[in-house]
Amino acid sequence: MCRRLCARRVNSLLALGFTDDDVAGDGSGRLVDALVARGSADQVWTRSSG
Protein backbone atom coordinates (compact mmCIF):
# COMPACT_ATOMS: atom_id res chain seq x y z
CA MET A 1 0.00 0.00 0.00
CA CYS A 2 2.75 2.46 0.90
CA ARG A 3 4.43 1.99 -2.46
CA ARG A 4 1.17 2.78 -4.29
CA LEU A 5 0.54 5.81 -2.09
CA CYS A 6 4.10 7.06 -2.51
CA ALA A 7 3.94 6.49 -6.27
CA ARG A 8 0.70 8.49 -6.47
CA ARG A 9 2.25 11.36 -4.53
CA VAL A 10 5.33 11.36 -6.73
CA ASN A 11 3.12 11.33 -9.82
CA SER A 12 1.19 14.29 -8.41
CA LEU A 13 4.40 16.23 -7.86
CA LEU A 14 5.55 15.42 -11.40
CA ALA A 15 2.19 16.63 -12.73
CA LEU A 16 2.73 19.90 -10.84
CA GLY A 17 5.96 20.47 -12.77
CA PHE A 18 8.59 18.97 -10.52
CA THR A 19 11.18 16.77 -12.22
CA ASP A 20 12.45 13.27 -11.50
CA ASP A 21 15.56 14.92 -10.05
CA ASP A 22 13.38 17.03 -7.73
CA VAL A 23 11.67 13.98 -6.24
CA ALA A 24 14.72 11.68 -6.11
CA GLY A 25 16.44 10.88 -2.83
CA ASP A 26 15.75 13.45 -0.14
CA GLY A 27 14.18 15.83 -2.65
CA SER A 28 15.66 18.93 -4.22
CA GLY A 29 15.92 22.30 -2.54
CA ARG A 30 13.20 23.50 -4.90
CA LEU A 31 10.83 20.75 -3.77
CA VAL A 32 11.57 21.28 -0.07
CA ASP A 33 11.09 25.04 -0.43
CA ALA A 34 7.71 24.45 -2.08
CA LEU A 35 6.50 22.03 0.60
CA VAL A 36 8.00 23.37 3.83
CA ALA A 37 7.36 26.80 5.29
CA ARG A 38 10.53 28.06 6.95
CA GLY A 39 11.53 31.23 8.74
CA SER A 40 10.22 33.18 11.69
CA ALA A 41 6.77 32.51 13.08
CA ASP A 42 5.48 35.61 11.26
CA GLN A 43 7.00 34.49 7.95
CA VAL A 44 5.52 31.00 8.29
CA TRP A 45 2.11 32.42 9.21
CA THR A 46 2.16 34.78 6.21
CA ARG A 47 3.10 31.99 3.84
CA SER A 48 0.62 29.47 5.20
CA SER A 49 -2.31 31.89 5.36
CA GLY A 50 -1.72 33.50 1.96
Residue-wise pLDDT tens digits, 9-49? 999 999 999 999 999 988 999 999 999 988 999 998 988 88
CB under 8 Å to 43, separation ≥6 — which residues?
A: 37
pLDDT value of residue 48: 83
> How far apart are alpha carbons 25 and 42 in whole angstroms?
30
Instruction: Say which residue, 4 or 23, is predicted with more confidence.
Output: 23
pTM exceeds 0.75 for this model: no
